[in-house]
Amino acid sequence: MTETAPVYTIGIDIGTTSLGLVAADANDGRTVYAADAPNGADVPARRADERLQHPDRIVRAVRDLLNACPGDVLARVAAIGVSSQMHGMLYVDAGGRAVSPLYTWQDARGERKLSDGRTHVGRLREETGYPLSAGYGLVTHAVLAHSGEVPPEAAHLCTIGDYVAMRLCGLAAPRTDASHAAALGLFDLKVRAFDEAAVVRAGIDPRLLPDVAGPGEAALGRTEEGRIVACAVGDNQASFLGAVPALTGSLLLNVGTGAQTSAFTGDHVDVVGASGLELRPFPGGGYLLVGATLGGGKVYELLARFVAETCLAFAGTVPDRKSIYETLNRLALRALDEGLSLPRVNPSFYGTRAEPDRRGAIVGLGEANWSPQRLAAGFLAGLADELAAFRDAMPAPLRAAAQVAIGSGNGIRRNPALRRLLRDRLGMPVRLPAAGEEAAFGAAVHAAVAAGLYPDHEAALARMGQPLLTAAENEEADAGDRADRAADADRGK
């Protein structure tokens, strides 16, 4: 891209709990507008292992975000990209309309037992040879098919990102990027296509699968106004694209509802199952090597919920959510500042992909380290250990190539204690991108490629990539936290 006239792209991220929008100048990556909104699409579940959302509510919320953009921004928008939560799925009819709820990545019905004592996901692993987990779209579909709950009018299944993108350009059938297709399951990473033989062995009708876009097919269609809409991409890949200055040489640590450690590789690499790592296709080619935890930010949320319930039980009132997290962060930093010994927290409270029944633990407790500040720091230290262990399990060349660790997601951006713990575990500083909403920004970069403004994602990053905060700027961002800690100390005198 050589022109200097203002051309904008919009990226939209569809998270489990919130939606984000970023409009970026495709010439230099400058964010010209940003907004967010709650997801607000949860659907009451009949059983404890179900996690459902209403897809058309999400579409309406996305349209509302787009319509709220200033007119002078929209007038310059050439393309729209969509990033979304991965693994989940919904059904659409022959006209492209949703005929089911969105079964999210947190849906655990795949762990239900069959009459022979196996779980559904266990059966599928045995019969296909693929490392599937509960929450993967094709696992959820297999359970629904077994119980006769697939809508009779279902013509295709797709991800929520696929659905939003196809609704924006009025298509009747979904087309999915490999980053989302692989997250559904039974996807051959080497050829970047569904393994139809494995799909048939699983008892799934291949005709339900969405078409998979090729590496050079980033554009899906156009809106009524003529704006290009890109094929939706996975939020993990979008966050990487929106946070790193270049595809290679960066280690991304993302903490949101879940958490991941990711590094880019241009080549397919074999992954050892015991490592906890998986290979995920990257938009346009190449792969992310990813270690993903089912806990992540949810583990810290578990501690915050415990605090809220304790306050309600003893004081009859509950502090607001933001103040609970801010207080926990300050307490954790105080423990680190004072060099206090911490309890050891195993953060597997929600299981792992390989061992869904595994549970977390808090060990090493004694009179000397049983305090709120040590417990808060201990939870964060457990999360840091988990993310660092994924880095340590990566092949040596990728570890050596990672010259900078980048933190994304509010779980890292708003928590200097976690950044400090990660710095100590990794042996390198954790830098923050100058702009937030990394997944939405990454979708905007992807949209620029889909619109033909750049030939590939590497070229787009060379112009649009976000600068990283310097160590001094990181310190400045933490200044408010230090002031709060000092105020806490004064009050305690």
What is the mean pLDDT for each group of 10 consecutive residues in the chain (493 residues)? 76 94 96 94 94 97 97 97 96 98 95 95 96 95 97 98 97 96 96 96 96 92 97 94 92 88 91 76 94 85 93 92 93 93 86 75 87 93 93 90 88 92 92 87 97 96 89 61 43 35
In-domain check, residue 491: no
Alpha-carbon span 201 to 185, nearest angstrom: 13
The answer as to whether 1 is a domain residue is: no
* 116 domain residue, yes or no: yes
Question: What pLDDT does 272 receive?
Answer: 62
Give the pLDDT confidence score for residue 469 in this predicted structure.
85
On whether residue 95 sits in a domain, the answer given is: yes
pTM of the model: 0.86
Give the burial string for 409-441 (b: 16+ CB within 10 Å, else e). bebbbbbbbbbbbbbebbeebbbbbebbbbbbb
175 within a domain of the structure (yes/no): yes
Could you tell me which of 83, 98, 115, 93 has the C-alpha nearest to residue 13? 83
Instruction: Say how far apart CA 138 and CA 208 lie, in whole Å.
Output: 10
The residue written with tokens 């991800």 in the block is: 159
| Residue 478: predicted pLDDT | 58
pLDDT at res. 140: 98
Q: What pLDDT was estimated at residue 273?
A: 59
110: domain CATH number is 3.30.420.40
Residue 370 is which amino acid? Answer: W
Report residue 443 as tokens. Answer: 């979708």
Check: CB of residue 343 under 8 Å from CB of residue 363: yes
Q: Residue 295 burial by CB count (10 A; 0-12/13-18/19+): exposed, middle or buried?
A: buried
Q: Which amino acid is at 86?
A: M
pLDDT digits (tens, 9 = 90+) for 183-239: 999 999 999 999 999 999 999 999 999 999 988 899 999 999 999 999 999 999 999
24: in domain: yes
In angstroms, the CA 405 to CA 431 distance is 6
Question: What confidence score (pLDDT) does residue 471 get?
Answer: 65
Pairing of strands 77-84, 228-230: parallel
Cα R_g (the chain), whole angstroms? 22
Q: Which two tokens stand for residue 101?
A: 């709820």
pLDDT at 360 (0 to 100)? 86
Task: Count CB atoms within 10 A of the CB of residue 467.
Answer: 12
Residue 192 near residue 281 (C-beta atoms within 8 A): yes
Domain count, the chain: 1
38: left (phi over 0), alpha (psi -120 to 50) or beta: beta
Sequence-distant (≥ 6) Cβ neighbours of residue 16 within 8 angstroms: 39, 85, 104, 105, 106, 257
Q: Is residue 187 part of a domain?
A: yes
Segments forming the whole domain that contains residue 126: 8-234
* Residues 424, 55 contacting (CB under 8 angstroms): no
Residue 390 domain flag: no
Contact 423, 2 (CB under 8 A): no
